Amino acid sequence: MSDEQSAYLNIGGGPAGLTAALYMASYRRRVVVADAGASRARLIPRSHNQRGFPDGISGQELLVRMRAHALRYGADIRDETISDLRLDGPSFRAEGDHRTYRVASVILATGGTDVLSDAKGLDAAIAAGLIRLCPVCDAFEASGKRVAVLGDNPSSISKAGFLRRYSNDVSFVIDYDIPRGTIVAYYPECNTLIPLWQLAQEGKRPAAKSMPVRIALE
């Protein structure tokens, strides 16, 4: 594995990382972008909150366009995962898949990682655009539709409250234990409270907390 010198190493090739790369390249700085190809933006079927796209744009198309923009101005974008980063004297040492980078500055734009339910069928539903992961990115697409929020902790209810700005029919599907006597009045943000035990096993008997909801594509 060879060593490579660069002024800037940008770790992350999502919208934030590509924006940073574009600015650094336009400032005539040598910047290398290590893109692991796992940006959450690629999962957005269509978003209407991106400037310059009044008709909306898919997350994947946005990434393609932003990548091409940064490349045109001179950014060096590579399909590579950085597995280790540390200070090494006056510079940083980063271990990639194919080489070791020694750089003066590092821009961390790694984004976030979703902590998902273990519900069966979840991956297929996300791929089909039926389940969204970011209310800020996707809430507009739910305008006037029936919406269900799957939550695994009480703080998830705030997402249901946010979505009430877009729909009057919001249900909160709870993936954690609550007393059977709990009523919707405790959760005024949503129209319907659906405990997990009510959905599992055709509603015949309570489900353990670890039993996931089954998500079916129809």
CATH number of the domain where residue 151 is located:
3.50.50.60
Residue 216 makes CB contacts below 8 A (sequence gap 6+) with 121
Residues paired with 76 in a beta bridge: 32
In this structure, the answer to whether residues 83 and 140 fall within a common structural domain is: no
CB 147 within 8 A of CB 159: no
Decide if pLDDT at 14 tops 90. Answer: yes
Q: Do 20 and 81 share a structural domain?
A: yes
Least confident of 86-95, 103-112, 198-207: 198-207
Query: Which of 18-22, 110-114, 159-163 has the lowest average pLDDT?
Result: 159-163
- Does some domain include residue 208? no
Which residue do the tokens 């409270």 mark?
Answer: 193
- Burial bucket for residue 150 (CB in 10 Å: 0-12, 13-18, 19+): buried
pLDDT digits (tens, 9 = 90+) for 98-130: 899 999 999 999 988 887 777 778 888 888 888
